[in-house]
Amino acid sequence: MKNILGIRRLALSALAIVLAATALMAFGTTSAQAAQSDCDEHTVAGQFRRVDSGASFTYAGRVVELQNERLFDRFSRAEIKSGRQSGDRVWVDRSFRSFPNFKGIKSDAEAKRDGWKMCGSWPNRTDSVYNSNYAARACAEMSGVTKCGKWWVD
């Protein structure tokens, strides 16, 4: 009887390890997951402009931009504008919280307070997220290091 209980405990422990490893592989370790399905538009016609004020940034020879669509000013995307290397990935985050009647930088805590979604990731440029009254930021993984610009409400 003791032997059967020991085997059961061992089997349950092994099952718990397998389930934990599967969950980590499926869901990762971040609180939001990058997915193309979280993008709002695949292709947005029009011209995009770089957002400065810390929303775009330079790291290790790469220029990463948060870009806003000019004509209707309703969409944002992220792009590694120059210096891209093999293995680099870029995505755009967008807050679920709306900031009506505000334009400019929001803190990480303010932007993430009601949650956020990640659109991406791609090797060069992302699809677009709807940004009207929402905070958006450009993020990239470059040589194993993840960097993000500041949250920008447009």
- 57 vs 46, higher pLDDT: 57
Instruction: Give CA–CA dist 83/68, Å, rounded.
Output: 21
**What pLDDT score does 48 carry?**
92
> Mind listing the pLDDT tens digit for each residue in 23-39?
333 333 333 445 567 89
Q: What is the DSSP string of the chain?
A: -HHHHHHHHHHHHHHHHHHHHHHHHHH-SSSS-B-GGG-SBS---S-EEEE-TTSSEEETTEEEEEEEESSS--EEEEEEEE---TT-EEEEEEEEEE-TT--EEE-HHHHHTT-EEEEEEESSB--BEE-TTEEEEEEEEETTEEEE--EEE-
* 148's tokens: 């993000």
CA-CA distance, 78 to 67, in Å (whole number)? 6
The average confidence (pLDDT) of the chain is 81
Tell me what the mean pLDDT of segment 70-81 comes to: 91
Is pLDDT at 15 greater than 50 in this prediction? no
pTM value? Answer: 0.76
The sign one gets for the Cα dihedral 62, 146, 138, 39 is positive
